[in-house]
Chain A
Amino acid sequence: MKSNSVTVGLGVLGAVFIIVAVLYAVGVLQIFTSTTSGPHYKHAVLFAVLAVASFVAASFARPKTA
């Protein structure tokens, strides 16, 4: 049960990171950036990597069948 909730939590976190990555890539999100307009590909890639890491962690946390 605990593993299931951790897995879901990490999956949701990964989805949030993907949304943030897309928002940075299209230039909608400007938080913590050095310029105030345009796309921020470095930030987008970072959040894409964080999303991948979250999904990997979710995969590790999911209950395994024997």
Chain B
Amino acid sequence: MGLLQGASELFPISSLGHAVLVPSLLHWSFKQSDPSFVPFLVLLHLGTATALLVLYRDQWVAIVRGFFTAAIRGTMKTDSERLAMLLLVGTIPAAVLGVFLETRIKTLFASPYVAAGFLVANGFLMLGFEALRRRRERGASRAEQESHFADAERISFRAAALVGACQALAFLPGISRSGVTIGGGLLAGLRHQEAARFSFLLATPVILGAGILEIPQLFTGGVPLGEYVLSAVLSGIAAYASARFLLRYFRSGRLDPYGLYCIGAGLISLALLHFGL
């Protein structure tokens, strides 16, 4: 589960959807209603967040420094300062929606059938993002396309807020947080690699914050802390490797293969669940 969570958290294929589907399909014994499941997920998320912090450690130092400098000065002068403010603006919608809606949404939709259905929807979303991007770029030469692409630091604050709000869709099991934020970044004019970088930077405070807030649950009775910590380490390693792979992949790769995977995996899961296999 640690490896699965770490890998699927950053790939645009929905970690929550897989966390609901895979145990159900493989008839694994643990249940998500078990009191020890939340602490387990908490540690896995902390593993993922730590991996992202390690991956972008230099950028995070610059972002934190830039945040305080720009906040006190009241103006943004460097790219790091602007990126810090974009991340703040992008984090707020997800945090507001997460605090007020996440538990209700997850409770409503925590069924393998629903997760499989949303996984199919996630696939169509990924294909849709790419189709919209291609339509916008149609007719333009490669050089013209490149000139229109922006770095993450240059997108508008409105676009950052919209991309951030897209994260709330990921409370639905089967909809990928990284998928919708990368897709949102593409629509905001970012190239794939920059959209992935912005998505990972945006995810870090949300994943880390949610994890830290749930830490007290780790110290409730009956939690096998040693096994869970090992899973978290595996999750972190998988997340680090996934992020490195994806950043390299998105130099030329697209979201379409993940969209097709989600549609296929969702449909197969629906069939397996329906026939009780």
Contacts and interface: CB of A to CB of B under 8 A. Distances in A.
Contacts of A41: 213
B74 interface: yes
Nearest to A40: B99
Contacts of B202: none
Contact of B100 (A32, A52, A64): A32
Given A49-B92, A53-B88, A56-B88, A42 B72 contact: no
A59 B96 contact: no
Q: Which secondary structure dominates where chain B touches chain A? A: helix
A43 B98 CA distance: 10
Nearest to B85: A56
A16 interface: no
Which one of A55, A59, A61, A62 has the highest number of Cβ atoms from chain B below 10 Å of its Cβ? A59
B75 A50 contact: no
B74 A42 contact: no
A34 B100 CA distance: 9
A46 B74 contact: no
A19 interface: no
Contacts of B91: 49
A45 interface: yes
B74 A64 contact: yes
Given A59-B71, A59-B74, A60-B75, A45 B209 contact: yes
B197 to A, nearest CB: 22
B103 interface: yes
Interface string A13-26: 00000000000000
Interface string B98-121: 011001100000000000000000
B41 interface: no
Given A32-B100, A42-B99, A49-B95, A60 B74 contact: yes
Nearest to A63: B74
Contact of B99 (A43, A53, A61): A43
Nearest to A49: B95
Contacts of A59: 71-74
B213 A64 contact: no
Interface string B53-89: 0000000000000000011111100000000010011
Nearest to B73: A59
A49 B99 CA distance: 12
A23 to B, nearest CB: 15
A64 B213 CA distance: 38
Q: Which 4 A-B pairs have the closest CB atoms?
A: A59-B74, A56-B71, A46-B99, A42-B99
Interface of A: 32, 34, 41-43, 45-46, 49-50, 52-53, 55-56, 59-62, 64
28 contacts: A32-B100, A34-B103, A41-B213, A42-B99, A43-B99, A45-B209, A46-B95, A46-B99, A49-B91, A49-B92, A49-B95, A50-B92, A50-B96, A52-B88, A53-B88, A53-B92, A55-B71, A56-B70, A56-B85, A56-B88, A59-B71, A59-B72, A59-B74, A60-B74, A61-B74, A62-B74, A64-B74, A64-B75
